[in-house]
Structure 1
Amino acid sequence: MTDPRIKDVGEARTAHLFDIVVDLAEPLPIGPRVLFGAVGGTFDGPRLRGDVLPGGGDWAQFRPDGTMVLDVRLTLRTHDGALVHLSYGGRWVIPPDLREGVADRARRHEIDPARYYFRTTPLFETGSPDHAWLNNVVGVGSGYLVEGGIAYRVSEVL
C-alpha cells in the first residue's frame, strides 16, 4: 500500500558542471584509512574552470567487501582567482577480479571504468560573490582512474 502523502515530484535531472582531474601523491596508510593526498590538477566546465590546489585529499577507508568509502576535501582556484572548497563522499566498489589490477599504480588507469562503480556527491563552499551560486549546488560525480590520479565527470542536480 502506498502512503497517500507521497507526491510525484518527477525524476532528478542533471546538467554537466565540470570535468576534474586530481593528481595524487603516494598513498599514506593511517590506521584503518589511507590518505590519497592531492598534489594538483585541473577542472573545466561550461561555467567555471581552474586548478586543484595541493594540500587536500581523500581520507579513504577500505571495507572488507572491496568498497572504498570516500572522504574527500579539495580546494579549487577558479580561472578568475576565486577559492572554492569542494567536499564529497561516495563509494568506489571494486569487484574482486579487478583488485589486483587497481593495486598496480602503473597500469590501473587502463581498466575500463564501466567495470567498477565509482560515484560521488560533491558539495561546494565559497565566499566569492561571482561563484556564490555554487553554495546551493548538490552534485553527482562519476569517477575513473587516470594516469597519476583520478578524474570525475561532475554534474549539478537540477
Structure 2
Amino acid sequence: MSLPEVPKHYVPRDVESLNIPPVKLQSLTTEYLFTYTMELPEDDPPCIIGSSKEMVNMIITERGTRVSGPRINGAFLRDGNDYVKLYPNGTSIHEVRCVILTHDGARIKFTYEGRGDFGPTGYNDVLEGKMPDKIRIRCGPHMYTDHPDYQWVNGLQCVEVGEVNVQQRYGSFDCYALK
C-alpha cells in the first residue's frame, strides 16, 4: 500500500528562502524551590495493572512525603500514586497528581509527567516481580493554588530531578522553577 501524497501546503518551505534574522541562544536559569522525600511502603508493593509486549502499566504508592526548601515547606496530603508505563527498553513514563499541604495551611495541587529509567533489564525484572535497585526520574511539574500567599506558583514551569532507591524504600526529588 502506498502512502498518499503530502498536500502542497504541508511540504516544508525551502529554509534558505525564509527571512529570519540570526537568533541568539536563549539563556536558562533556575530557582531551587524545595526537595521532597518520600517513603515507599513495604506493605504496598507496586501494583501491576496490566502488561503486554509493548508495556507494563503499574501504580507505585508513595507514603509519608516531606517537602522542605527555601520556598515551600510541608507534606503531601494522603498517599501519592505514581502511574507508570514501563517499556521493554527500560524507559518509563510517570504521571503523578498530589496535594502539598504547606506548613502554614495552604493546599497546592502538584502534578507532573516525567521520564524514568528502570535500566536495561527493568521491564523483564518487573514482570518477574523484581524492582531495580534505583529508578532515575526527570519531570516537568506544575502547581496551582487559590491561597493568596502562594499565587506565585500558578505561573511556574518547573523541572524536577530525582531518584527512587527501591532497596532503601525512599525517593528524593529536587524541584526548580525555570526563570
TM-score by length of 1: 0.81
Give the direction of change, closer, same or farther, for the CA distance of 1:94–1:36 in structure 2 (3 Å limit): closer
Q: How far does residue 74 in structure 1 lie from its aligned partner after superposition?
A: 1.4
Q: How far does residue 55 in structure 1 lie from its aligned partner after superposition?
A: 3.4
Report Cα offsets for 1:24-74 as digits up to 9, x if no partner.
342111124111122221011111100112233111100111001111111
Give the direction of change, closer, same or farther, for the CA distance of 1:35–1:98 in structure 2 (3 Å limit): closer
| Contact 1:38 1:54 (C-alpha < 8 Å) held by counterparts | no
Matching of residues 1-150 of structure 1 within 5 Å: 4=20, 7-8=23-24, 10-24=26-40, 25-31=44-50, 32-96=56-120, 103-104=130-131, 108=133, 117-146=136-165, 147-150=168-171
CA radius of gyration, larger in: 2
Give the direction of change, closer, same or farther, for the CA distance of 1:156–1:64 in structure 2 (3 Å limit): same
| Aligned partner of residue 10 in structure 1, secondary structure | coil
CA RMSD of aligned residues (A): 2.5
TM-score by length of 2: 0.73
Runs of 4+ more than 4 Å apart: 97-100
Structure 1 Cα separation of the partners of residues 60 and 112 of structure 2: 14
| Contact 2:34 2:69 (C-alpha < 8 Å) held by counterparts | yes
Structure 2: stretches of 5+ with no match in the other structure: 1-14, 51-55
Structure 1: stretches of 5+ with no match in the other structure: none
